[in-house]
Amino acid sequence: MHPKSNTLFHFTKSSDTLKCVLKSGFWPRYCPEDVSWVGYEEFDYIAYPMVCFCEIPLSRLTEHVGFYGSFGLGLTREWAAKNALNPVFYTSPGSPMATSFKSFNELANRAVKPVSTELKILMRSYLSFSKPTAGTMIIDSKPIEKAFYQESEWRYVAQGDGVRQYLLAQEFSDSEIRDGHNKVTYERCLLKFTPADIKYIFVREDSDIPDIVNFIQTELDAYPGADLKILMSRVTSLESIRQDL
């Protein structure tokens, strides 16, 4: 069994969200990340504008979807490379590699502007693709302990004019601030794909298949008929996969 997949998976909890992704693309939204491992007590979480994927074999999908949701897409590695997705860099809290981030930041603080500003931007860019091997994530406003390294995560982090590189925890907690910045990423940074990029369209149960097939036929009809047939052939249920694994 291969420890990883040649497909990148993204799951969500509802068929409505899956339909929005199929219609418009992935929306990079600000998500809080555990950065307590960097070593600053005043910064436990920072939110980055991103979309996350996992690179795990089909045999491990059951445990993954139990946490993130049972509706999703599987896309090709070629699509990921073309759109500047990158694997997450995992680091053990307290290790020399982890403490180097704090050292980098302190060096930037001592530098003279504009170099200090440029170094800060660079450091935060690296940090947005870094994660502790284990830590906490916020689910429904509650911290949940998780072994992150098992997910083999890839990320797309939104960049561009008017896009904030990160939000502090208190900014993220303010719905007006958060929604305003998420609106910017929706308008400027949607992550697009074509039918050829899709390898799997996942639904929870066999009974969910007709609804998503009907959506493809009626709402994605801007694509050529041949593409629609390919898309419909990609639809599969996690219920059927579980029976085969």
Rounded to 5 degrees, φ, ψ at 228 are -65, -40
Give the pLDDT score at 58.
85
Count the Cβ atoms, other than its own, within 10 Å of residue 192: 10
**DSSP3 helix / strand / coil % (the chain, rounded to 5):** 45, 25, 25
Q: Six-digit token pair at 25?
A: 């693309």
Cα separation of 240 and 73, whole Å? 16
User: What digits encode the pLDDT tens for the residues 1-26?
Assistant: 455 678 999 999 999 999 999 999 99
pLDDT band at 245 (very low <50, low <70, confident <90, very high): low
Answer yes or no: is pLDDT of 34 > 60: yes
Count the Cβ atoms, other than its own, within 10 Å of residue 243: 8
Inter-axis angle of helices 115-128 and 96-110, to 10 degrees?
160
User: What digits encode the pLDDT tens for the residues 54-109?
Assistant: 998 888 887 778 788 999 999 999 999 999 999 999 999 889 988 998 898 888 88
Which residues fall within 8 angstroms of residue 3, CB to CB, at 6 or more apart? Answer: 57
Mean pLDDT for 230-238 is 95
Q: Six-digit token pair at 240?
A: 């059927």
| Average pLDDT along the chain | 92
Give the pLDDT score at 204.
95
Give the pLDDT score at 142.
81
Q: Please, what is the end-to-end C-alpha distance for the chain in angstroms?
A: 12
User: What digits encode the pLDDT tens for the residues 122-175?
Assistant: 999 999 999 999 988 877 778 888 899 999 999 999 999 999 999 999 999 999
Q: Six-digit token pair at 12?
A: 């969500």
164-175: buried (b, 16+ CB within 10 Å) or exposed (e) per residue? bbbbeeeebeee
Give the pLDDT score at 88.
96
Comparison of pLDDT for 139 and 230, the residue scoring more:
230
